[in-house]
Structure 1
Amino acid sequence: MSKNYKTLLSGGTRALRFALAGALLLGAGVQANAQTYCTPLYSSACTYGDDIKDVIVNGASGTLISNLNTPCPTGGYQDYTASTAANMTVSLIQNSTYTGNVTTNYSCCEDVRAWIDYNNNGTFEASEQLFTPLINIGSSSTGAFSFTVPLTASAGVRRMRVRLGYYGTATMDPCNTVSYGECHDYKVTIMPLAPPNNAGIGSLVSPASNTPFCSNTMQEVAVSVVNLGNNALTTANIHWSLDGVMQPSLTLPVALPNYKDSVTVVLGQVLFPTTAPRTVKAWTSLPNNLADTDHSDDTLTKSPAATLQGVDVHVSPNDTIICDGSSITLDAGEHPLNPFYVWNNGSLEQTRSVNQSGTYIVKVQNNIGCYDMDTVVVQVHPHPIINSIAIIDNSDGSFTFNVIGAQHIFNYSWNFDDGTAEQPGTGTPTQLIHSFADCGEYNVTLTLSNDCST
């Protein structure tokens, strides 16, 4: 059969065309199980130009299917549900009406039907046909249609099938064999009747309920923020509290274009000191900078808890100073669940004796893998010292005293052995002049002290 032959038939009897095509008809397509859709069959597909040229569906919130000048695929069936190209999917709202059209390159006599799997059971049922079949459309006419999404349509991502077949295919369904034509599948998103602008907290993402963690650890607390409105969600405020105490608010990090789109938002890092639960409450406000008219889905309250007994190490004593020549014992404490101790010098004991300045680190881990670490800084303080005292006779009964090489001195006191009061001071001694009232021999004493000795 040639293209010219079919063209001659186009204005006359169609029975001959079907008779010639009859020998090529295949068995009917088999309906698949849920989520696995049947493949519509064509015996001759677009051999004579019986194709879908354009598909246009005007959806909600400016969404659009506009698939123009499409080529005919081998076998006549094309699945566009995974397409990421622009204008290849729409959002549809329950109980709302939408329009569209289908065109063909063939001169006349094409039928068009369409279905959406509203209940998501993997089958295009008769009740899911969108409109009365378009009959006898051609290249000079547009197959305009409209349809209303029923209230019973389940919300979520669904499949739409648009099928074209040559006139006379009165029994064309979503799956059976037709002689000439083409079929497309598209992804659509069904949205419930919802406020135009609405946001809410969907779930507690972390700490995950199925992931145990140790007490006395910091945990990331994150929630999912969901667009629960029919408009794209571009802004929203996210508030949260911990055990009833308000925490800093956040804003939506990315836009959520479609109903039920969501994003994970990290609220903060939270310490779980024991295995007792902590109450996390999160809620949204001002979706798209507008008042939220539906508060029923704004808020989520959860009480995550550490399920593993952790370790809480506090070395005793904490940061400290010892005197030169002495030592101190650092104690990492006793802990449950048969812990082992590892110090940064390789020691495996609970305690450690030290006599030098340094940073001392210990890790304590119990037999279920929970651990904690603590760090102690020890400083060794030397005794107070001086090199010498320079004394200058001023020849007027007074003497100048200069302390040379003084170090590590907190306090000092001069005693001039002449009955006058001692002269105390703090820090390093400075130059001092003392006058003696009477001639004689005096034992002058400088007493130095710090936290370690005098």
Structure 2
Amino acid sequence: VTILPDTVPPLANFTADATITCNGIVNFTDLSANYPSSWYWDFGDGNNDTIQNPTNTYLADGIYTVTLIATNQYGSDTLIISNYINVNVSGGGPIPPGCTPASLNYCCGFGITNVTFNSINSTTPDGVAGYEDMACSQGTIVTEGETHAISVDVSGASPGAQNVRVWIDYNNDGNFNNLTELVFSEDNTLNAAGNITIASAVVLNSPLRMRVSSDYNFEPAPLPCVDLERGQAEDYSITILPNTLAPIAYFSVDDTVTCSGTVQFTDESINVPTFWYWDFGDGNTSNLQNPSNTYATDGIYTVLLYVANANGGDTLIDSNLITVNLNGGPVAASCTPSTLGYCCGYGIYNVTFVGINNSTGSGVEDYMDFSCFQQTYLTEGQSYAISISTGSSNPQDTRVWIDYNNDGVFNDATERVLTSDDKFNPTGFINIPLTAVNDTALRMRVSSDYSGSTPTPCQDLWYGQAEDYAVYIGIPPTVNFSSSDSMFCEGSCISFNDLSTDSATGWSWSFPGGTPSNSTEQFPSNICYNNPGTYSVSLTASNNYGSHSVTASALLTVLTCPVPVADFTASSTSFCQGDCISYTDISTNSPDTWAWSFPGATPDTSSLQNPSNICYPDSGSYTVTLMAGNPNGIDTITKTSFINVNQCLPIAAFSVNDSTICETGCVLFTDLSTNNPTFWSWSFSGANTPTSPAQNPTGICYNAPGTYDVTLVTTNASGSDSVTLSSFVNVLVCPPPVSNFAPSDSEICEGDCINFSDMSVDATTWTWTFDGGTPSSSIDQHPTNICYNSVPGTYNVKLVTSNAAGNDSITQTVKIDDMMAVMTIADTLFRGIPTVFSEASTPSAVTWTWYFGDGNFANLPAPIYTYSFNGVYTITLVVTNSNGCKDSISKAIIVVEYFAIDDANSELEFNLFPNPTSGIFTLNLGAGLSGVYELCVKNVLGQSVHSRSVRMLGTHVERIDISHLPPAIYTLTLRGAQGQITRKIIKH
């Protein structure tokens, strides 16, 4: 073998251990091909070197371009990498971290093998390296408000999935806040991927630390400063630049369908807006970045968001975004099971049940309530398939319950509808009973946890989760219908009436042979059939629970019907000009439309079946035409010269409202002429208005007595006629009236009403005035129901009468009487003592009735009455005078024990003072008394209210306290061997 020398020039290539450096030291490694023998490096800072793998120390901040020239005996090659080294020796990169999580028990390939974020693309060993700080060597520059993709590869050689977290130290304090600085999380993954939106209001233009952490998914989720069991943490650098662009509006909501009415809005606008204006479509607005709005009314609402910053603004309108169905969900659940410690992919990923197909995250989401917007409809008595995806990590125990009685409580014995143990992704069938609450949202709970956990409806779950949905249970409609007609002529149109039960919400009609041939209306009308035959009708009625169909075979019979035969008559065919007539349709074969033509008449057309009031103003011979139609056709008849209108002379006639009047009286005349006169000429001999052209003249007055003729001449186009009534008007010499009247009663009680009768002579008008009366005047001849509510006294009634000859008046009086009851009786009476009851009513009464308040009464002016019992009584006296006027008066009295009588042989004597007393008084007993005495205080009802025994020997003073008793009159009785004595006490 002969080995020949390589005669190819080198191909320059190299790499650096860091492209971002905080200490300025960078190690360069030659990767050139074809065996260079010499090297020339230019590091861009004025330094150069000729060794193969040099180290350069940069002393000043900046971005440097690096050049390598590689040479061998056959030639040279140059590689220039522009802006290759980023040196930040003054800033030193991010500030040192407050903590550096260690990898405690690395195993099995767990940890991070690649992080890609914007310009960072860092491939590293897995967790075997432990915590790695690459904040100076691996960094990127982003802008606030921007969104960038991130991927964290943790697949490596690990046997299981991992949980991944990413934080950015936005406030540059060296610590990571797990709430406000957590920017990305994903669990149970081998390659986490997603987006990070850079926050605003953060430290700008300075390197910030970004921490990426992962650990085995059976371990707790990573925290920024907690050591990791098997995984690792890596730090990178991120510099955030200010955003100088106008914002672009965008937002999200927690739910687009709400039963509570409350919706949370989250601003996701980019380019760092500083101002927000929300319009929620219900009249409510907000300037918060992430507001919550509560809708008070059902409906569909459009939401507007306007965002702005110093660089401009943007508007987003999301039409019909929010659907509000208040109380549209089930009743609140009595319990909501929580996830105690999610782990390892446990939980629910999808529920598919009839109309529900809901994909969610795993148990990491904890309890989820989808019952407002994930709902389905079920028919009672039916069976439905259900499938539940629980992931592929672990078998689980899964349960499903439906709150059939809608009490908010799941009965595990009667309402569990699916049981699946130790299975992946269970499936089954749910049988719907006939006894569930109908047409109401019922809560359905799906619960899944580790194998062997056997979940119950309210039991908290260790690793898995519970989700709630809603179902409606009911029955489909039962179809029934009717038609407006079942047998009719071809060309006719009919309507249909839905009679279905059980709340149909949709209708699908089929009308073979009809036009239109189908309909979705509940009550379709104007369905027309143009061809004879028998036809079926079908109706399918549906609601949320299903549908039902019925076909009524040969329901309709369409007949071949004849065309009408037009004919008519008239109320008269020969009459005078100006007269009006009517027409009657006598067409056969049931026409339903008519078109008349009356040339020369007014009106000259009509669409009525039997038109009337058709008038002919001119004489002549006239033709009449009628077109009669039905759905089968039209027939026309014309009757030529059917109507003859004649020129008829008027026939004069008239009447008068009164043909006998007094001198100066006036009358009115009424024309009664026939044959339609158009002109009138009246002559009134002896009247102040001798002539008139009016048809019905009024105000024709005669001043002198006598008899007078009246003549009327009437004229129309055919000529004239006249009539004269001789001595028609008789004008008399009438005397002035003589006024007189009589009241139905001239002496009445206050509030009474009376009538007045006119007794005047020769009166034609009457004017009444009633002083103190209601009404106070009248023009009736005989006024009635004139009422007097005034104070007692005498009132004038005046009547003024008149006629053509003059007037007269008369005044009479009406007396209004009064009665005032007065009784004389003491305020306090004594039981068993007769009492005289006196009255002093005015004027003198003629009847008396005393009511004593105990059920007894007397009809005497001054009865004597004795009360048998103590108490309070109301006495009423009712009196009536000779005119029948009545009054009453009442008074309350007290009946008490009579205490003014002592024992006749009593040797007792005492004084008491003060009396009246405010409550405490002194009893001074006389000398010579000895022994035991009883003191007793009673009220006016005779009830004992204070008592005690007193032992005396000679003169004795006793102090008595009744301050606890109410103000009233009391009696004090002293009783002993010498007798008893009683005195009255007044307590004020």
* TM-score bucket of the superposed structures, by smaller chain: 0.3 to 0.5
- TM-score (ref. length: structure 2): 0.18
- TM-score (ref. length: structure 1): 0.37
Give the structure with higher Rg (CA). 2
Query: 1 or 2, which has the higher strand percentage?
Result: 2
**Structure with the larger RCO, 1 or 2 (CA within 8 Å, 6+ apart):** 1
Query: 1 or 2, which has the higher helix percentage?
Result: 1
